[in-house]
Amino acid sequence: MQLTVTDLIVIALYFIFNLLIAMWLRKRATQSVSEFFIAGKKVSWWLAGTSMVATTFAADTPLVVTGLVAANGIAGNWIWWSMAFSGMLTVFFFAKLWNRAGVLTDVEFAEIRYSGKPATFLRAFRAVYLAVPVNLIIMGWVNLAIAKILMNVLGVSKVESLAIALLIMFITASISTLSGLWGVLWTDLFQFVLKMGMVIALAFFAVKASGGMDVLIDKLHMIDKSRDASSSIMSFVPDLDSVWMPMITFFVFIAVNWWASWYPGAEPGGGGYVAQRIFSAKDEKHSLLATLWFNVAHYALRPWPWIIVALVAVVRFQNDPQFIKDPESGYIRILISDLPAYLRGLMLAAFAAAYMSTIGTQLNWGASYLVNDVYKRFIRKDKNEKHYVRISQIITMLLMLCSVIVTFYMESIGSAWKILMSIGAGTGLVYILRWFWWRVNAWSEISAMTAAFITSLVLQFGFRFDENNPRDFAYLLLITVAITSTVWLIVTMLTKPEPKAILISFYRKVRPNAMMWAPIAKEVTDIIPEKDGIFNIINWLFGVAMIYTFLFGMGKIILGELLLGIILVAAGFAFGVLIYFRMNKKGWQSLRI
């Protein structure tokens, strides 16, 4: 695809505008480590929530969705749709608790919840583990996505595309280095508007080039018939023994994966960059509203433009050897063939925005662990704020360079997703219960992480479970969850509980639901026990129902089932109204506002 002078000017203006935002916020962001990493806890819900959405909308996301639809139909998206259950847990159970914890990073939590050397080790280990291998894998697949886009759009080699990606990443790292989280938040807002507008435009032009939605649907039905499939590629929920997605895999996604697996951006109990945005919010109410807006936008508003383009790619390239080998590239090929020439510059700027919003967050997030939880905690404890900000800026640049090396050896974005999900299988329950069960200790988390990692690797490399095979992935997850959960529960009961002083301090500060903290709650008589479990569970159920009725309703409308779609969307609004009135009646009273 040839770029004109106009295209290059549009792209240049995009980068200049982002850098101007960073320069504007530089002085404010570099005042302290708190300002640099959590924006001084002064962020409104709409900005924090939109930043979460922008971060999860990376350059890789449309490509992965195309690969999932090509392999498993629309129902293949349950690999991430199922995480809405976990996301809504964060909204109604954990957002306020994270805000009360008063920490700079989620791994700092270890030393307010646990004690002694196990807590110190856990904080340091998780900081390095998340900041280096996990963070580099995430940045690696995001780099791979932008490299694939550049290779296809500009016709360059992988090395050349990585060189261009490195330049874009350098600009992103400069923004993060200059203005910390403040720069990430405000550029995220601008980038989200741009990239959502362009993916909607691409979906429109792709359908138009296919002859309209009715023609596209007819061709999809023909594909179903040719494959003698028991369920349609357009089914939102697969049939029993569906060729697109076996029922055992679907069951694992909706019944196990969302609470049992740790995954960046969808951690059971919150965590990662979601927790970072929660820490940055003004108060508990803004934390809750930010995560609520994030989940609605993430699951209900964004997916359909990607899915529509993916369906167009399946129809157009179903017998193409290149598409069969690399279905993720189908999205880019539709972009090249169907997008009008006058929008090419904006679309490339949108992909740069998708790339930068995620990379900017990952760089800032990873640096926060290495500076706050390793360097400042264990290496240099007595330096001033300016010193730690400078170290943060250096580490940001080092993470950028390391991620390029990881990208060079990475082949599949979807496989990287599944690898992270499988090695985190089984750890989710301990991350949930550590808030609500006083008996959980540091050894619970350490044993869960160790058991999950070892079990997953043994199953994949010893017993040859293939994470790319839907059935193998399901059994891999189930076995890993069973072994990991058994191990950490046994370890918990065989080791001593945390000292009472630590438990009392944590309970007084965070005020979790008192039911499973009864031995501690009865000794803290000045704190009114919170008994909001049933209230939060009902809100959670309403929230999940709201997400899925919005998601499926809009899908039905787009795919031609207008009446059912309108009914589902109306139901989504009804669930939202119920949540609003319930929170007004009782919910806000328990929050610090």
Structural domain harbouring 205: 5-75+131-243+295-419
pLDDT of residue 541: 97
pLDDT score for 228: 62
Identify the pLDDT of residue 404. Answer: 79
Count of structural domains within the chain: 1
Q: How far apart are CA 271 and CA 108, in angstroms?
A: 11
Nearest to 474 by CA among 261, 218, 327, 307: 261
Q: What is the pLDDT along the chain (593 residues), one digit of tens a residue?
A: 667 888 888 889 989 998 898 889 888 888 888 888 888 899 999 999 999 999 888 777 888 899 889 888 898 898 889 999 999 999 999 999 999 998 989 999 999 999 999 999 999 999 998 888 888 888 887 887 788 788 877 888 878 887 888 888 888 888 888 888 899 899 999 999 999 999 999 999 999 999 999 999 999 988 888 766 567 888 888 776 666 567 888 888 899 988 988 766 667 888 888 888 999 999 999 999 999 999 999 999 899 999 999 999 999 998 888 888 888 889 989 998 999 988 988 988 988 888 888 888 888 889 999 999 999 999 998 888 889 889 988 998 899 888 878 877 766 555 565 666 666 777 899 999 999 999 999 999 999 999 988 998 898 888 888 777 778 888 988 999 999 999 999 999 999 999 999 999 999 999 999 999 999 999 998 888 888 889 999 999 999 999 999 999 999 999 989 999 999 999 999 999 999 999 988 777 667 66
- Give a yes or no: residue 181 inside a domain: yes
Answer yes or no: are the C-beta atoms of 54 and 192 closer than 8 Å: yes
Using only C-alpha atoms, the chain has a radius of gyration, in whole angstroms, of 23
Torsion of CA 131, 137, 138, 140, to 10 degrees: 120
State the pLDDT at residue 593: 65
Give the tokens for residue 349.
């700027």
Q: Does a structural domain hold residue 228?
A: yes
The whole-angstrom separation of Cα 474 and Cα 478 is 6
- Which region, left, alpha or beta, applies to residue 155 given φ > 0 means left and ψ of -120 to 50 means alpha? left
Q: What does the alpha-carbon distance between residue 165 and residue 163 come to, in Å, rounded to a whole number? A: 5
d(CA 269, CA 430): 9
Domain assignment present for 501: no
Residue 11 located in a structural domain: yes
Who contacts 108 (Cβ-Cβ below 8 Å, separation ≥6)? 123, 372, 373
Q: Per the domain annotation, does 56 fall within a domain?
A: yes
33 close to 279: Cβ distance less than 8 angstroms: no
**Strand (E) or helix (H) holding 490:** helix 470-494
- Backbone φ, ψ for residue 283 (5° rounding): -160, -175
Torsion angle defined by CA atoms of residues 204, 209, 212 and 217, in that order, rounded to the nearest 10 degrees: -100
Residue 24 domain-assigned (yes or no)? yes
E-only strand ranges, 135-198: none
pLDDT of residue 272: 81
Q: Give the C-alpha separation, 293 to 550, whole Å.
A: 13
Structure-block tokens of residue 308: 């529509």
**Residue 561 placed within a domain:** no
pLDDT of residue 46: 95
In a domain, 327, yes or no: yes
